Amino acid sequence: MATVRLENLRKTFDSGRLVAVDDLSLSVDHGEFLTVVGPSGCGKSTTLRMIAGLERPTSGSVAIGGDDVTDTHARKRDVAMVFQNYALYPHKTVMGNMEFGLRMSTDLSKEERRERVRETAEMMDIEELLEDKPSELSGGQKQRVALGRAIVREPDVFLFDEPLSNLDAKLRTTMRTEIQRLQDELDITAIYVTHDQEEAMTMGDKIAILDDGELQQTGRPTDVYDDPANEFVGGFVGSPSMNVLDAVVDNAADGVTLRGATADFTYDLSSAYADVFEGVEEVRMGIRPEDVRVAGDGSTGITTTVDVIEPIGSDNYLYLDLGPEFIARVDSGITPAVGEGIEITFDEMAVHVFDPRTGESLTYGIDAAESAAHPAAEAEPTAD
């Protein structure tokens, strides 16, 4: 079983002055597709290169299939890597390129190797290209060949380093589906690095978000989206970005009130949150654009003004006066007058609250509905 387990992995450069990856622990199950995402320089490639054996960790360990491979040479690890720049040998044909990896990693005869290349080429729909040189191929074809060259080796673990970055948007979408299909069909464990959060969210069974060399959160894409562990993650996944409002906390016995620090609003949370806000005076509230609702009667909402309406097909983006780039994503049927006041509300479950000092989410892992139900369950039974 090709599981991958990273334990306390650390990599520094420049005699320890630059920490590229810091204390990273992560595990990938057999057949799982993990996407690793984060801004430029956050340590994605370095992590992948340590798994491949192309970079030696400063400390920590890498295990593949339960075996510690931290000190194992790259060629002896059963992994294949696909790069952004294809890394094909220019003077070899497609057949030569695909066969070369097999020659290095197996003791198959030449005829057996060529047969295996032909089978893979057929599966990848590139059999017509076998006698071509890389210079004769389009970007998309080159990437299929690079993928085929990795697949033909039948590795246990597939590593992808931004493999689709050089392709146009349409081809990228096609190749995403193709890679997922192959990974699923061949039951391969895959680790896929990208800086594109949408790619990471749509392709991964599991997503790992890095920033500044540190793992910020890992989990199923929907869980990470619905319950970000900190403000960085909340803002990084999802487009347009999560809206954020500064607020001060009024924690009273009958509930928590958040008052806008820069915008004029109040927002009441149920007493389920009382413990969470104990000793906290200031917070940052995060609300995703699709979680902003335009209120009907105006009695419980927050009053604001619509600055701009941007139609995006089935929905409208309303740019609201609550803060810079505060966007509500509403049905295209909702077209309030620009410059006029409207009332908006957010569902309590959709409000994320971050500690401005640490960025950590104070509402992470809280199921308000469940917490609210708990005291009721303990209440005195009523006589009947």
With CB under 6 A as the contact rule, the residue among 9, 28, 34, 44 that binds ligand ATP is: 44
Choices 35-43, 174-182, 270-278, 307-315 (CB under 6 A): range interacting with ligand ATP: 35-43
- Mutual angle of helices 139-151 and 110-123, in 10-degree steps: 130
With CB under 6 A as the contact rule, the residue among 8, 13, 91, 312 that binds ligand ATP is: 13
Choices 33-41, 105-113, 262-270, 364-372 (CB under 6 A): range interacting with ligand ATP: 33-41
Q: Which token pair is 17?
A: 């002055």
Dihedral over Cα of 141, 48, 183, 66: its sign: positive
Report the C-alpha gap between 296 and 146 in whole angstroms.
Answer: 55
Q: Is 41 in the site for ligand ATP (CB under 6 A)?
A: yes
Instruction: Using the CB atoms, write b or e for 324-360: b if 16+ within 10 Å.
Output: eebbbbbeeeeebeeeeebbbbbebeebbbbebeebe
Shortest CB 13 distance to ligand ATP, Å: 3
Q: Is 53 in the site for ligand ATP (CB under 6 A)?
A: no
Q: Is 46 in the site for ligand ATP (CB under 6 A)?
A: yes
122-127's contacts with Cβ under 8 Å and 24+ in sequence apart are 123/151, 123/182, 124/148, 124/151, 124/182, 126/94
Task: Give the nearer residue to ligand ATP in terms of CB position, either 156 or 161.
Answer: 161
Alpha-helical (H) ranges within the chain are 44-52, 94-105, 110-123, 139-151, 169-186, 197-203, 221-226, 231-236, 368-378
Choices 42-50, 69-77, 126-134, 178-186 (CB under 6 A): range interacting with ligand ATP: 42-50
Q: Is 45 in the site for ligand ATP (CB under 6 A)?
A: yes
Q: Is 42 in the site for ligand ATP (CB under 6 A)?
A: yes
Q: Which of residues 323-382 bind ligand ATP (CB under 6 A)?
A: none
With CB under 6 A as the contact rule, the residue among 4, 9, 20, 102 that binds ligand ATP is: 20
Question: Where along the sequence are the contacts to ligand ATP (CB under 6 A)?
Answer: 13, 18, 20, 38, 40-46, 195
